[in-house]
Every structure is written in C-alpha cells, then in structure tokens.
Amino acid sequence: MHPSPAPRHRFALLAALVVAAVTLAACDNVPAAQTTAATPPLVVPAGAHIVHPSPPTASATSCGDPTQSIAPPATLPTPGAMPSGSYMAEIQARGYLRAGVDQSTYLWGYRDPVTGALSGFDIDMLRQVSQAIFGSPDRIRYTIVPNADRVQAVESGEVDIVAETMTINCEREKDVDFSSVYFEAGQQILVPSNSSITGPQDLGGKRVCATDGSTSLNNLVVPPVAPHVTIWAVANETDCLVMLQQGQVDAISTDNAILEGLAAQDPNTKIVGPTFTQEPYGMAISKAHPDFTSFVNGVLTNERADGTWAAIYNRWLGAATAGQPTPAPPVASYRAAS
C-alpha cells in the first residue's frame, strides 16, 4: 500500500525547515565582517628630505662684521629722476624693479588669500624702494625665489634685489652685497601646544624641520641644541607646518619672526625657549651695483627717521607682539669708504 501524498509533503516541508534552521545557526556562528575607516597615508611635502648639515664654519665670521654695508648718499635723488649712468637709471628706464621674494611666509612674503596679491613686511620694504625710484610703490615685478636660490638669483641678474627674511653673514657676503640691517631676528622653536619641549636643550633625538638653504639648518647641529637631532629640510616654512601638524616632525626651528607667522596660522602651536642665534636681515643686491646698494640704504635711512619702518612693523608684527612697545629700528652700520 502506497503512502498518501499529504504525509510526503509534510516530510519534505519538515526537512526543508530543518535545513534552513541549520543554515541559520551556522550563519550565526560566522563572525561579522569587521569594517574600519580607511586612514589616508601621511605623505611628506614634495622635496622634503633628511639632511646632515655641517656646523657653521669659521668662514661664516671671517669677514669681521658682515652687517657693515655701503654708506647711503647724502640725499636721495628725486623719484623719477635717477642719476644718469646709475643702476637706478637702468631700472627706471626698464619701467619696473625686479624683486626676488617668498610667497609662503606669512607676515613676511605671502599671497593674500582674498586678493592674491603678495603682502608682508618684506614686500613693504620693496615697495619703499619702488616708491623712491619711480614715485610709485607698485612698479615691481616679483619673482618667487626658493630660499636655497636667493644668492644665485642675485648673482645671475635674474632679479635686482632679494628681500626674503635673509640673514646677513660672511658666507653670503662673499657673493652678494647686503643693505644695512632692516630687522633683527633670532632662532627659536615652534612645537605643538601639548609638547614637552621647552628649548634647544630638549631637541636631542627629536625630528626638527627647517627650510633648505637657511642658516637655521646649520644652527641645529651646535650647542645649545642637544645632539642627535634628525633634521628635515623642506622648500618653505609652510611645508614644515604641514609636517608638524601631521606628526611627521616634533618641532620647527627657524627665525622667531617666521615662527610668529606660523603660530598665527595654527593656534594649536606655541613658540618656546629663548632665541639662541642672531639673525640680522638685509636685502641682497649684486656686487656689480654698489650704487644701488647705497641707494637702498638711503631709502632705509629715511624709513627709520620718518616713522615708516615703525608703521610697517606695527602693520605686520603688531598683533603678534601685542602689549609690547614697538621696537626701535635696527641701527645701520657702514664700512669705511675704500
């Protein structure tokens, strides 16, 4: 006797339910797939590399006082009437001053994010030179010059003058002339706000960033800086700030004037320790044009006397030094006429 269809259907349905239950139970025993947020890799800025600079050599001080410049003329010529045969007359005939500058050092030479115009303390220094030649501060063609190429840009004649937080020293003075000192800076250290670094004595074994071609690199391998610093060189100071923010370096060390601009861009940083070098800034000019160096020194003489230097200082550095009196401009020093 054959079984009826109904029991067969019930058996098949029961078997299917058992298989489904076993399958579901097996699924319950398989761990759920783990998902994690993808972390983008930290890429160092283009051109960033570890360097092993030498200590400042004896030749860095072998010229005596490199801040002694060429004396200014008794009086400056009238704007638009530069003396015949002078380099200033050549610039006037060309119609514009060729100036080497930076575009990424906030407060000194940078592009205004709203207007795109170059702005800063160094830019205003150059505008005064243009004013003295042409009667207008705007007759300038700017060339962006990396720190490492500043001397070459002047020597080659690519630019007439460089104003780019450039320290006067004997090594550079062998190749270019400098104006009298227009700003006195000193090397310090910038770190994250929660850093335990308090000064150069704490940099041993740390990763520190500075710009290629700067005196800051050499200053990091001599006392009072602790030994065994890993030194990163980059194209510009903004790259150092990016590396600090990404945790790729522990500190930035360069002129305090530059660090003020970096700190203003990132409130999660702080400047620590005393200055441990002297960094007098001058404008670099070709040795082939001593009359132009003398002329620029005349422009600076007037700036110191008529309050223009103080106004430029307050415009760019007043907020960073709030509560402190405006300093006197650096005193000019001139070498004896030969």
Q: Which of 243, 272, 301 is the last residue of a domain?
A: 272
Q: How far apart are CA 304 and CA 310, in angstroms?
A: 8
Q: Could you give the C-alpha distances from 13 to 17, 18, 207, in angstroms and in order?
A: 6, 9, 71
248 within a domain of the structure (yes/no) = yes
Domain co-membership, 129 together with 71 = yes
Q: Could you give the C-alpha distances from 125 to 95, 132, 286, 336, in angstroms and in order?
A: 19, 11, 18, 25
Prior bond to 224 cis, omega within 30?
A: yes
Domain co-membership, 71 together with 201 = no
330 within a domain of the structure (yes/no) = no
6 within a domain of the structure (yes/no) = no
Domain co-membership, 68 together with 180 = yes
Per-residue pLDDT of the chain (338 residues; tens, 9 = 90+): 444 444 333 333 333 333 343 343 444 444 444 444 555 567 889 999 999 999 887 665 578 899 999 999 999 999 999 999 999 999 999 999 999 999 999 999 999 999 999 999 999 999 999 999 999 999 999 999 998 899 999 999 999 999 999 999 999 999 999 999 999 999 999 999 999 999 999 999 999 999 998 999 999 999 999 999 999 999 989 999 999 999 999 999 999 999 999 999 999 999 999 999 999 999 999 999 999 999 999 999 999 999 999 999 999 998 877 778 899 999 999 998 76
Domain co-membership, 180 together with 68 = yes
Domain co-membership, 108 together with 242 = no
Q: Which of 272, 300, 333 is the last residue of a domain?
A: 272
Domain co-membership, 176 together with 308 = yes
311 within a domain of the structure (yes/no) = yes
177 within a domain of the structure (yes/no) = yes
Q: Could you give the C-alpha distances from 234 to 102, 217, 259, 295, in angstroms and in order?
A: 14, 11, 15, 34
Domain co-membership, 208 together with 263 = yes
Domain co-membership, 87 together with 209 = no
Domain co-membership, 105 together with 178 = yes
Q: Which of 254, 272, 290 is the last residue of a domain?
A: 272
Domain co-membership, 234 together with 223 = yes
Domain co-membership, 165 together with 301 = yes
pTM of the model: 0.84
Domain co-membership, 70 together with 163 = yes
Task: Give the DSSP per-residue string, 66-126.
Answer: TT-BPPPPSSPPPTT-PPTTSHHHHHHHHTSEEEEE-SEETTTEEE-TTT--EESHHHHHH
Q: What's the CATH number where 262 sits?
A: 3.40.190.10
325 within a domain of the structure (yes/no) = no
Helix (H) or strand (E) holding 7: helix 5-28
Q: So what's the pLDDT on residue 310?
A: 97
Give the count of domains, the chain: 2
Range of the domain at 71: 64-184+280-317
326 within a domain of the structure (yes/no) = no
Strands (E) in the chain, as ranges, are 49-51, 97-101, 104-105, 109-111, 118-119, 140-144, 161-162, 177-178, 183-185, 187-192, 207-211, 230-234, 251-255, 269-272, 279-281, 284-285
199 within a domain of the structure (yes/no) = yes
